[in-house]
Structure 1
Amino acid sequence: MKKSFFTLLALSSVIILQAQYNTITIPEALYGTNFNLNIHESTKQIRTGNLTVTGSINNETFWGPTLIINKGEEVHMNVTNNLNESTTLHWHGMHLPAVMDGGPHQIIPAGTLWQPYWTVMNQAATLWYHPHLHETTQEQITKGVGGFIIVKDPQETALALPRTYGVDDIVLALTSRSYSTANQFDSPPTSVRVYGDYMLTNGTPNGQISLPKQYVRLRILNAEVERGYNLGFSDNRTFYIVANDGGLLNAPVAATRVKLMVGERIEIMVNLGNDTVGSSVDLKAYNSGQTLGFPGGEPNTTGQFGSLLNNIDFSVLHINVAATTTATTPITAVPSILASNTYWTAANATVTRTMTVTGGQGATPFSLDNHTFVFDYIDKTVNLNDIEKWTVTNNNIFGHSFHIHDIEFKIVARNGSATGVGTHESGWKDTFYLPRNESVTFVAKFDDFADADVTHPYMYHCHFAGHEDGGMMGQFIVTGNLGNDQNTLNTDFSLYPNPAQDKLYINLSDASTEIYYLTLTTIEGRVAMMLPQPQWQNGIDISSLSSGVYIVQMMDKKTKSVTTKKFIKK
């Protein structure tokens, strides 16, 4: 009887232990060149009790689908904002024209369809997309609006790497949240807290996953509002970093710990082939005892910078080892050579710039070079194809995460020394950690895209959502040869058929006019469609519009003047 009691107790303990984990959601994968993304509010049962109001895309209830695209293809995004407020959608890490970038200037009003497109020029990499509306970024990211982008190319495809999505190739968005008594997310404008109390992995608390007994690939994104992660496994096993922000490293980097700051991505391979089926291991954040200024290293548990996860080690994913896959050939080794990247060096730079983190004392917001973000102020003008060296210095007590749009760069020095650059950040980057009292120097080429239009600049900023909402952002334009005939165009146009049913065609009075932007509004002034640099020659698809009277505003590329015409949608 006593033996049965202890057996029952032991079984109960196992059941309780297993019940504390929840299987994480793997976002739906979307393939192709045309993507329909519907941003809307949803609800999710994250905690016991009330449903939590979330921000989601398509059929997900937190976060959005993973877009899987190929280098060299032209991709079209049909982004519909069905939130009750404006938003933007930024393609983080993507090399593309500024007018398609989705920064604070490409505002999508509620109820509006935005249709950017571009040719994919990035090499194989893990990128992501997220809101970037000034002063509202933290609130919308907290709700869970965002998603992964996986770029594929022939170089990566030729390697023996895990790439069966959701089986041995896993996307992991790491973040944390705090909740009100009604189970709603703490976020602006009702809360000023920057760290969550409870871990979410792909929007799942106490996340777990079953992975096959072989090498697996984890594509990890720090999707936090502000917290950093010092990642490693609970048994201190070695893993291999095969890619970071911009794609494959030239060779894998063996590690037992790696720091990942907001906006950064890494791809790691970890060997589960020596584990027993049914065993488990945790991917953990070893965040205790970090140096002063590490985001999330503060000792306090309450207040603006307080959190129950501060300055402790905690699990971010519980991994259960399952049987080896049979549908595909398991990967049993890490390739010794991954890529043959050739990087810019400091000697290649013909332009040198410096930048300093400023502000942050008392009620003064953080800024860059003592200037907070203003929509119509251009901080830097860059010449097309220039190779530039930027040094960003942080003399503040707090660390930051620095991100620049459009280009990828090579970090060439930390604190003036090449030896200070971590091997895990040896590849192409678009985001880096800038600790307190340190500097980072990077080199980049500003190629392919030039646009002197100051209404659609690129951004650089701290990726802590609260800091960028507070104005810790600058903006730059890239200028090239814009021609000398800007005042000789006739920008008039006509529309046909009118009334129109499914397609609307444009006839330009001057064939040399280039359409920079088309905006379709209702007669009452509500924005219905936004088409940056549209491919208008085969007609504009207006089938999604309701019947009524609309105004077409056409901005030409050279003069940036706006001409309007009216049409009727049948």
Structure 2
Amino acid sequence: MKKTLFIASVVFYSIIVQAQYNNMSMPEALYGKTFNLNIHESTKQLVTGNQTITGAINNETFWGPTLFINKDEEVRLNVTNNLNESTTVHWHGMHLPAVMDGGPHQVIPAGTLWQPYWTVKNQASTLWYHPHLHETTQAQMTKGVGGFIIVRDSQESSLALPRTYGVDDIVLALTSRSYNSGTNTFVTPPASTRVYGDYMLSNGTPKAQYTLPKQYVRLRILNAEIERGYNLAFSDNRTFYIIANDGGLLNAPVAISGTNRVKLMVGERIEILVNLANDAIGSTVDLKAYNSGLALGFPGGEPNTTGQFGSLLNNTDFSVLHINVGATTTTTTPITAVPTTLATNAYWAASDATVTRAIAVTGGQGPMPFSLDNRTFVLNYINKTINLNDIEKWTVTNNNIFGHSFHVHDIEFKVVARNGSAANVGTHESGWKDTFYVPRNESVTFVGKFDDFADADVTHPYMYHCHFAGHEDGGMMGQFIVTTPLATTSFSSTNAFTLFPNPSSNILFVALKDVNTEIYYVTITTITGRVVMMLPQPQWQNGIDISSLETGVYIFQMMDKKTKSVTTQKFIKK
């Protein structure tokens, strides 16, 4: 009888404890080579009272689906913007042509279909996608627009690692939000300049819990914040292993044990393995942010709870995921050990660089916005011109009281020094990176090769910038193009063309007057000028699919790759 009462008490206590938490959303997984992404507004119950208006993609109510893609395959994205405003979608960490990159220049107006495509050159890694429209990035990311990309390759697939999505291999987007009282809408600019949220969201779920099997599990963690950093470890100080960061697998796992933590700043990703095999079924452990008592300048370490840099989470330790230990998975063979070797990356060294550049964090005093090299972002100004296949060494110096998260588009690079010394580079950031943190009064040096993609077109450059969304919107961004020494601006081709539909009128064919013409960009508008389709470097030879268009009269605008001149033709969709 006593035993029965004891078991009943344990079950009752377990129910009470779990009632304090919400089951965390796991984004839908999409597989294949073609992905349809519908960006739209939605609603989600995040706090008691009114539902909150959110930004979402496809069937999600906050955030978007996880895209699974394979190295060396060509992927195509059909991105439809059904928001009530323009947006862009940047493929963060992806190595791809600038015209497909989704920076501030590839603006997708409301109601428009954008169709980028590229061949995947990244190795297996956890990447992500998010808005990058100048001056509205913070507002749109606050609403929840974004999602994960998981790249797979043969090297990663050959390893004994957890990879059953949503079971022993999960994605975890960490962020926080504040709400307007009464309406429960998100606090967003320009109504407020607050940069830290008061309440934790994991995959868009407040007070998140998730059940993971009693074995080794894999967590792909992204800092998807507006500005806050996370100092991560488990509540019982158990050992966990970092197996990958931004650009993919490390050469060997890095153990984080005892009271050691790993700092994850805005835009950075890590993949970790943690062993739950010794935990009893029904037991719990928390993944926590140990954000109290950190050095001055750590974003989110400020002591104040109100004002621009205030938050109820500031300078506190808090749970980011409450883990319930469940039964060992029966769908796959459980992973029981951490591989000793993961990859054979050959990294660039400082001595490999043939070009050296210095970038300074500037501004931020009084009303002056943060900037890079005393210049804020200007849409048509190119800060740096880089030669194709050059190996460059950049040193970013921050002589400012505030730390910054620095991101470079297009390439993965190697961090080779902090404050001038390789010894200061953390083992957890020893792999390929595309984002790093520069603390106050410190510097970071990295080396990267700008290969594969050259495009002298100044209308679609790559970006480098602070990934704090407010700083980014304020102009803390620079632009670069990659050119080839053979590039020239002197051409004699003509980009005259004619259009003809097939009998179904769903495929539009282009006939070029000059066979040497290369189509760089196609934009299709209504007769009143509203953009409905955007096709960067379209593969037009087999026709252009216009089945998504309603019947009516349209204008077809073609930009020539060499001259960048634009020619237009009218056509009728029947």
TM-score bin (small chain): over 0.9
CA distance in 2, matches of 1:313, 1:57: 31
Which residue pairs with 1:106 in the alignment? 106
CA distance in 1, matches of 2:487, 2:569: 27
> 1:498·1:567 contact (CA, 8 Å) conserved in 2?
no
Match for 1:251: what amino acid? A
> 1:163·1:169 contact (CA, 8 Å) conserved in 2?
yes
CA distance in 1, matches of 2:198, 2:487: 55
**Structure 1 residues 121 and 360: CA distance shift in structure 2, 3 A:** same
Which residue pairs with 2:341 in the alignment? 337
Matches within 5 A, 1:432-511: 432-483=436-487, 486-497=490-501, 501-511=505-515
Matches within 5 A, 1:392-403: 392-403=396-407
Match for 1:536: what amino acid? W
Which residue pairs with 2:553 in the alignment? 549
TM-score using structure 2 length: 0.97
- Do structure 1's residue 264 and structure 2's residue 268 form an aligned pair? yes
Matches within 5 A, 1:342-357: 342-357=346-361
- Do structure 1's residue 34 and structure 2's residue 22 form an aligned pair? no
Q: Unaligned 5+ residue runs, structure 1?
A: none
Which residue pairs with 2:129 in the alignment? 129
Q: Say how many residue pairs are matched.
A: 567
Which residue pairs with 1:55 in the alignment? 55
- Do structure 1's residue 198 and structure 2's residue 196 form an aligned pair? no
More moved, 346-355 vs 481-490:
481-490
CA distance in 2, matches of 1:13, 1:343: 51
**Structure 1 residues 12 and 70: CA distance shift in structure 2, 3 A:** closer
Query: What's the CA shift string for 1:83-137, capped at 9, x where partnerless?
Result: 0000000000000000000000000000000000000000000000000000000
Cα offset, 1:487, TM superposition: 2.5
Cα offset, 1:324, TM superposition: 0.6
> 1:127·1:245 contact (CA, 8 Å) conserved in 2?
yes
Please state whether the residue corresponding to 1:39 is helix, strand or coil.
strand
Please state whether the residue corresponding to 1:142 is helix, strand or coil.
helix
Matches within 5 A, 1:146-545: 146-181=146-181, 182-256=183-257, 257-483=261-487, 486-497=490-501, 501-545=505-549
CA distance in 1, matches of 2:543, 2:527: 21
RMSD between aligned alpha carbons? 1.6
Please state whether the residue corresponding to 1:191 is helix, strand or coil.
coil
Cα offset, 1:327, TM superposition: 1.3
Match for 2:399: what amino acid? N
Query: What's the CA shift string for 1:281-305, capped at 9, x where partnerless?
Result: 0000000011000000000000010
> 2:304·2:314 contact (CA, 8 Å) conserved in 1?
yes
Query: What's the CA shift string for 1:58-83, capped at 9, x where partnerless?
Result: 00000000000000000000000000
Cα offset, 1:14, TM superposition: 5.2
Please state whether the residue corresponding to 1:317 is helix, strand or coil.
strand
Cα offset, 1:326, TM superposition: 1.3
CA distance in 2, matches of 1:7, 1:156: 43
**Structure 1 residues 203 and 290: CA distance shift in structure 2, 3 A:** same
CA distance in 1, matches of 2:250, 2:17: 39
> 2:387·2:485 contact (CA, 8 Å) conserved in 1?
no
Please state whether the residue corresponding to 2:472 is helix, strand or coil.
helix
CA distance in 1, matches of 2:305, 2:414: 37
CA distance in 2, matches of 1:483, 1:429: 29
Matches within 5 A, 1:63-78: 63-78=63-78
Match for 2:88: what amino acid? T
Query: What's the CA shift string for 1:333-363, capped at 9, x where partnerless?
Result: 0000000000000000000000100000111
> 2:24·2:205 contact (CA, 8 Å) conserved in 1?
yes
Match for 1:463: what amino acid? H
> 2:489·2:563 contact (CA, 8 Å) conserved in 1?
no
> 2:517·2:560 contact (CA, 8 Å) conserved in 1?
yes
> 2:418·2:425 contact (CA, 8 Å) conserved in 1?
yes
Please state whether the residue corresponding to 1:167 is helix, strand or coil.
coil
CA distance in 2, matches of 1:291, 1:71: 40
CA distance in 1, matches of 2:485, 2:494: 21
Match for 1:431: what amino acid? T
Q: Unaligned 5+ residue runs, structure 2?
A: none
Query: What's the CA shift string for 1:410-431, capped at 9, x where partnerless?
Result: 0000000000000000000000
Cα offset, 1:544, TM superposition: 0.6
Please state whether the residue corresponding to 1:546 is helix, strand or coil.
coil
Please state whether the residue corresponding to 2:463 is helix, strand or coil.
strand
> 1:498·1:568 contact (CA, 8 Å) conserved in 2?
no
Match for 1:178: what amino acid? S
**Structure 1 residues 506 and 330: CA distance shift in structure 2, 3 A:** same
More moved, 360-369 vs 475-484:
475-484
Cα offset, 1:498, TM superposition: 8.1
Cα offset, 1:9, TM superposition: 9.6
**Structure 1 residues 232 and 552: CA distance shift in structure 2, 3 A:** same
Query: What's the CA shift string for 1:366-406, capped at 9, x where partnerless?
Result: 00000000000000000000000000000000000000000
CA distance in 2, matches of 1:341, 1:9: 53
**Structure 1 residues 523 and 482: CA distance shift in structure 2, 3 A:** farther
Please state whether the residue corresponding to 1:537 is helix, strand or coil.
helix
Cα offset, 1:488, TM superposition: 1.0
Cα offset, 1:18, TM superposition: 2.1
Cα offset, 1:17, TM superposition: 2.7
Please state whether the residue corresponding to 1:155 is helix, strand or coil.
helix
CA distance in 2, matches of 1:490, 1:15: 72
TM-score using structure 1 length: 0.98
More moved, 63-72 vs 40-49:
40-49
Match for 2:215: what amino acid? Q
Match for 1:414: what amino acid? R
CA distance in 1, matches of 2:489, 2:198: 58
CA distance in 2, matches of 1:420, 1:20: 41
% identity of equivalent residues: 79
Cα offset, 1:499, TM superposition: 8.6
- Do structure 1's residue 21 and structure 2's residue 21 form an aligned pair? yes
Please state whether the residue corresponding to 2:517 is helix, strand or coil.
coil
Please state whether the residue corresponding to 2:273 is helix, strand or coil.
strand
Which residue pairs with 2:572 in the alignment? 568
